[in-house]
Amino acid sequence: MAGKLTDLAIRNAKPRATKYTMSAGKGLTLLVMPDGAKYWRLRYKFGGRARWLSVGKPYPELTLREAEIEVLRLRALLDKGVDPADEKIEKKLAQNDRVANTFGEAAEAWHKFRSQAWNEKTSAQVRQYLDKDMLPRLRTRPLDSISPRELGDFVRGIEERQAFDVALKTRQWLKQIFSYARANGWTKNDPARDLAAIAAKGPGSQNYPHLSIDELPAFLRALETDQGSTLVKVCAMLALWTANRPGVTRTLRWSELNLDEATWTILKGRRGMKLGYQHLTPLPKQAVVALREVQKITGAFEYVFIGRNDPRQPLSDGAVAGMFKRIGYHGKQTMHGFRHLVSTALNELGYESDWVERQLAHGDPDKIRGTYNKAHYLEQRRKMMQAWADFLDPMRPTAATSERIAGSNL
């Protein structure tokens, strides 16, 4: 009965197929969810209209006695003509103002928010970056007072200890924290925007030679005006459009493609895929157009990019490397280097690092929480990679067309 609710009754309340309520009197109810969670709610009238308001934390974090005391306080507000919901909003705004005060508070709020989507490993890794480098240096600094020079000196100090990977991640996280703070209206400051422009080149970056964005137009002109095999050129462009691993791209099978849905599915255990992970790649429109034309040539075979001497085999390892040498980019760009180039470019263009990492097939998707499409950021990556392909088009002498590809040499 109303007003007779006890702690024992609450503890013994079992979840049902649908949510239900238990009355505690004075408009206070306990909402019991199918998953067993129990939430306090207050039903009241204000301005002649019935309203509901959540009360404090869920049970048992907020006990029955504490909830009853809170209801008395809220009803005292009603007696004064104050809507408890308005008070809750004011408290929220006040909290936002407090968070906006310093980098440390904004960084903590950002990490808490983003951790809802990250897996545990990513959340812990970012926590480590925050605690080891960023917060000790920037915790008490007002967001509006942090300058590009201050962040530049900070990241340069990380590079000076030869921690180039840490410096790269730090630049990415700083950019995201300020983006999050601006989106919440806590600051208009954007001191992390141009940090990539002064990034030092680490020794590890020489493993797979790759060009900078500024060098891409000349490279694409040389690539498209080359008189060699179109299959080799499309293979190279597909690696640039998707950032997939070179061995997987070179041995692409028609069975892996769904050109109507613009997807490329690499099944778990596929040879050439690091650690055998499954990977789903969205294809930009430019790639679909090129592949449909290649299909007219090699569609009857297993492989998309068939071998020169044996169409039953895929393109050889040295085919693309030979083309790069022929057009003057030997030692300057490799197929694998496209992955570094695309990763750097997308991060500099401001895309979420989680989307970029998933596009590069970094990390085991089987361990990522959530439903398939959400966990793999498919729609976000589709828009990102289409924007990337569109970004490349003006750099090319002529964007790939059906007529030009169909009339080219094998």
Q: Note the pLDDT tens digit of each residue in 380-404.
A: 999 999 999 999 999 987 654 433 4
| pLDDT given at position 175 | 94
In this predicted structure, what is the pLDDT of residue 91? 67
- pLDDT score of 375 more than 60: no
Q: Is 369 exposed, middle or buried (0-12, 13-18, 19+ CB in 10 A)?
A: exposed
User: How many CA atoms lie within 13 Å of 74's alpha carbon, on the beta-carbon side?
Assistant: 27
Q: Which of 25-34, 297-306, 325-334, 338-347 has the highest mean pLDDT?
A: 297-306
Question: Between 208 and 233, whose confidence is greater?
Answer: 233
pLDDT at 295 over 70: yes
- pLDDT the model gives residue 90: 66
Q: Is 329 a catalytic residue?
A: no
Q: Which tokens sit at 195?
A: 């940090």
pTM (global) more than 0.75: no
Model confidence at 405: pLDDT above 50: no
279 a catalytic residue: no
Give the tens place of pLDDT for each residue, 178-208: 999 999 988 899 999 999 889 887 664 445 6
**pLDDT for 398:** 62
Structure confidence by residue, pLDDT tens digits, 57-96: 899 998 999 988 988 888 888 888 888 777 776 666 555 5
Among the listed residues 296, 372, 374, 404, the single catalytic one is 372
The per-residue pLDDT for 2 is: 45
- Tell me the angle at which helices 64-79 and 84-99 cross, rounded to the nearest 10 degrees: 110
- Domains of the chain listed by start with CATH number: 7-97 (3.30.160.390), 101-206 (1.10.150.130), 213-406 (1.10.443.10)
Selected catalytic residue, list 26, 141, 292, 336: 336
Stated as kind and residue range, the H or E segment containing 354 is helix 353-359
**Cα–Cα distance for residue pair 332/209, rounded to 1 Å:** 5
Q: What gap in Å lies between CA 39 and CA 32, rounded to an integer?
A: 7
The question of whether 38 is a catalytic residue gets the answer no
Which residue out of 362, 382, 383, 396 is catalytically annotated? 362
- Residue 7's pLDDT band, with cuts at 50, 70 and 90, is confident
Average pLDDT over the chain, rounded to whole? 84
Active site residue 376: no
Identified catalytic residue from 91, 268, 296, 369: 268
Question: Which range, 12-26, 160-174, 248-262, 340-354, has the best average confidence (pLDDT)?
Answer: 248-262
Residue 336 annotated as catalytic: yes
Across 25-53, average pLDDT: 88
Any catalytic annotation for residue 210? no
